[in-house]
């Protein structure tokens, strides 16, 4: 599941870059950030468990796809926040 691990690393990098800019952002952007943080926390835990659990890997191909979809949603959310911050 290297694709899932690669996605997780990319998300963490985007998250770190945005975290620096968030403290200067508006209340709406901070609220969006808080929602993404909760989603990222859940995603990270599930991705780590999925990557570590060999039995789950064997039977959970659909779960892996679902996790990738959530990761893609997070990626789009981070991009949207980055664009909103840069437009200000």
DSSP string, 64-84: HHHHHHHHHHHHHHHHHHHHH
pTM of this prediction?
0.69
Q: Are 7 and 71 in contact (CB under 8 A)?
A: yes
Six-digit token pair at 21? 């800019």
Q: Are 5 and 44 in contact (CB under 8 A)?
A: no
C-alpha span between 19 and 23 (Å, rounded): 7
Q: Which residue has the tokens 């959530």?
A: 70
Tens of pLDDT, residue by residue, the chain (88 residues): 568 889 899 999 999 988 888 877 788 888 999 999 999 999 998 888 877 776 666 666 677 778 888 999 999 999 999 998 888 7
């Amino acid at each position: 599941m290297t694709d899932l691990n690669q996605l997780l690393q990319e998300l963490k990098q985007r998250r770190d870059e945005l975290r620096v800019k968030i403290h200067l952002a508006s209340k709406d952007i901070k609220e969006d950030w808080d929602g993404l943080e909760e989603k990222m926390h859940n995603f990270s835990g599930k991705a780590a468990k999925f990557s570590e659990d060999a039995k789950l890997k064997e039977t959970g191909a659909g779960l892996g796809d679902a996790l990738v979809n959530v990761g893609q949603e997070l990626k789009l959310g981070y991009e949207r926040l980055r664009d909103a911050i840069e437009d200000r």
